[in-house]
């Protein structure tokens, strides 16, 4: 295992998104001295405004190469987490050109800008398990050399990000580590099934809705807690090996239906459910179980919070949020 790297200036692209904001908060807990910068496409509002009080956030369209280059020259990062992307898998089927164009250009611009200016940051390219698509049972658990078989426009864009990063690392010597994250609980993003379930259950408990709507309950996912996921991103930067690709996830799978059953069992209210065909993807992944053995070996990371406890926490936090008027 490598010695811990130290960083002074970190950029998180897409910092006002759910994953980026969680990551910024996690890094701040781990290292109070590190300067955290971030980019966002979004207008500042009452939801993301608190982030601007904690971190140095710049409204920047990463498609604008010259502005991005100026930004990197000014901030001089020694660590970059590239999280920014259009990340709604289901909606990507209806906007394939926009999704693929956006995700590919912003990644290529970032890599090219780093190549062309006098900085040498470590780049954590935050890819996704979606690149693997549907993997046969005999090929599971999924390893990093498993063939990529994307089945959504979003997944295609992540394959490009993944592959072009490998080219820039091998051909131009950029310091890049690729993480392929599997599913994690995320209370700030309601287009994820577990967060949507938690939100709807709390609304039923507060008599604001009568029925919980869901999509495909038969799909299986590996699921870890948000804290374990953010710690994985952090230790990837601290101890991961440059040029490596790492799967990050739990070693067990759980059906979407079982997740719903767990969340329902944590509520005293009667939860009526109904399928909403609009929530079903045009093409869905049946089951994914990752092998994170390489990442665990290289970094000593392992998830600490059980799925059940993570879902309890997700629901509890949602209840707390609903008591506060935003």
- Whether this prediction's pTM lies above 0.85 is answered by yes
Query: Are 64 and 38 a contacting pair, CB within 8 Å?
Result: no
Could you report how far apart the first and last alpha carbons of the chain are, in Å?
Answer: 45
pLDDT of residue 114: 98
DSSP string of 116-149? HTT---EEEEEEEGGGG-S--GGG-SBPTTSPP-
Q: Which two tokens stand for residue 31?
A: 């290292």
pLDDT of residue 53: 82
Q: What are phi and psi of 160, to 5 degrees?
A: -60, -50
**What residue ranges of the chain are covered by domains with CATH 3.40.50.720?**
9-185+223-250+289-304
pLDDT of residue 326: 28
CA 74/CA 26 separation, integer angstroms = 24
| Dihedral angle computed from the Cα positions of residues 151, 156, 158 and 162, in that order, rounded to the nearest 10 degrees | 110
**What residue ranges of the chain are covered by domains with CATH 3.90.25.10?**
193-219+253-288+311-322
**CATH fold label, 193-219+253-288+311-322:** UDP-galactose 4-epimerase; domain 1 (3.90.25)
CA 267/CA 202 separation, integer angstroms = 9
DSSP string of 45-64? -TTTHHHHHHSEEEE--TT-
- The CATH class, in words, for 9-185+223-250+289-304 is alpha beta
pLDDT of residue 228: 97
Query: Are 250 and 223 a contacting pair, CB within 8 Å?
Result: yes
Query: Are 261 and 194 a contacting pair, CB within 8 Å?
Result: no
CA 319/CA 201 separation, integer angstroms = 9
CA 301/CA 230 separation, integer angstroms = 11
CA 282/CA 94 separation, integer angstroms = 10
Residues in contact with 54: Cβ distance below 8 Å, sequence separation at least 6, in sequence order:
24, 28, 36
CA nearest 151: which of 287, 256, 253, 282? 282
10-residue mean pLDDT series, the chain (326 residues): 89 93 95 95 65 88 98 98 92 95 98 96 97 92 96 96 98 98 88 92 94 92 94 98 97 91 95 92 83 97 95 94 55
DSSP string of 93-117? TT-HHHHHHHHHHHHHHHHHHHHHT
CA 85/CA 68 separation, integer angstroms = 15
């Amino acid at each position: 295992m490598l010695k811990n790297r130290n960083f002074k200036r970190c950029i998180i692209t897409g910092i006002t998104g759910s994953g980026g904001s969680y990551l910024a908060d996690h890094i701040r807990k781990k290292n109070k001295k590190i300067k955290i910068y971030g980019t966002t496409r979004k207008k500042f509002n009452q939801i993301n405004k608190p982030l601007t009080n904690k971190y140095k956030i710049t409204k920047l369209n990463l498609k604008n190469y010259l502005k991005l280059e100026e930004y990197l020259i000014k901030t001089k990062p020694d660590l970059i987490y590239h999280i920014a992307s259009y990340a709604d898998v289901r909606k990507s089927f209806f906007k394939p050109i926009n999704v693929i164009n956006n995700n590919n250009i912003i990644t290529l611009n970032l890599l090219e800008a780093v190549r062309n200016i006098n900085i040498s940051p470590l780049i954590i390219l935050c890819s996704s398990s979606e690149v693997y698509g549907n993997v046969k049972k005999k090929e599971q658990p999924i390893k990093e050399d498993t063939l990529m078989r994307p089945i959504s426009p979003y997944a295609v864009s992540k394959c490009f990000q993944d592959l072009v990063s490998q080219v820039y690392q091998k051909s131009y010597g950029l310091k890049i580590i690729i993480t392929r994250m599997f599913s994690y609980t995320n209370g700030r993003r309601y287009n994820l099934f577990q967060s949507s379930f938690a939100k709807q259950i709390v609304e039923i408990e507060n008599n604001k809705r009568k029925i919980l709507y869901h999509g495909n309950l038969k799909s299986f996912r590996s699921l870890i807690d948000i804290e374990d996921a953010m710690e994985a991103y952090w230790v990837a930067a601290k101890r991961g090996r440059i040029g490596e690709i790492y799967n990050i996830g739990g070693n067990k799978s759980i059906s979407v239906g079982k997740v719903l059953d767990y969340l329902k069992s944590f509520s005293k209210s009667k939860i009526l459910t109904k399928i909403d065909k609009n929530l079903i993807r045009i093409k869905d992944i049946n089951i994914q179980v990752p092998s994170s053995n390489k990442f665990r070996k290289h970094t000593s990371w392992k998830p600490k919070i059980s799925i059940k406890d993570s879902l309890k926490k997700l629901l509890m936090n949602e209840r707390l949020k609903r008591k506060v008027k935003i």
